[in-house]
Structure 1
């Protein structure tokens, strides 16, 4: 299974981020065909109580690398990616990985 992870850095205005993320971005992401599962995490910090390097994490799962590429190249995928600049004021890192096993 292929996984695309979006790591959101801390936004300038967390309340504005949350409002836009929940009301606009997540519904837009939900229009993408071919996504097997989406997990959204609001990060709380490190195990020793420090502030996390990232504010939120979104994980999108696909059945194959080809499915991920097809989905992300679709009009809905491109619109979702292009929407990031509308609210992710802290910036984002996007990484791709292949899940080797489920433990």
Structure 2
């Protein structure tokens, strides 16, 4: 069974400082507490594109689950719905993009 991942891509906010405060002080703790079944949470701050063009996204969050069934159960749970609603509320640059993916990992040494 493949692992699964929820990806949330936040557009560049109208007020970056306000977004960062709410994201780090409110949203991340909420996600940690309320997203049942997660195995890993990665929060990336986008600093540029490879060609140094303006990036269309400010943050990308990745939440890993052991299976697609566990990810879907989380999304339909009260905690998952509350966390998704909060993501929409704090995203002042437009609605965040929610993606669901299967995960394959390749490690190199």
Q: How many residues end up aligned between the 2 structures?
A: 103
Of 54-63 and 66-75, the range deviating more from structure 2: 66-75
Tell me how far 1:101 sits from its aligned partner.
3.0
| Normalised TM-score (structure 2) | 0.89
How far apart, CA to CA, are the structure 2 residues paired with 1:57 and 1:100?
A: 19
- Maintained 8 Å contact 1:4/1:96: yes
Uncovered stretches (5+) of structure 1, i.e. residues with no partner? none
Uncovered stretches (5+) of structure 2, i.e. residues with no partner? none
| Normalised TM-score (structure 1) | 0.93
Partner of 2:69: 66
The alignment yields a C-alpha RMSD, in angstroms, of 1.1
Structure 1 runs, 4 residues or longer, greater than 6 Å off: none
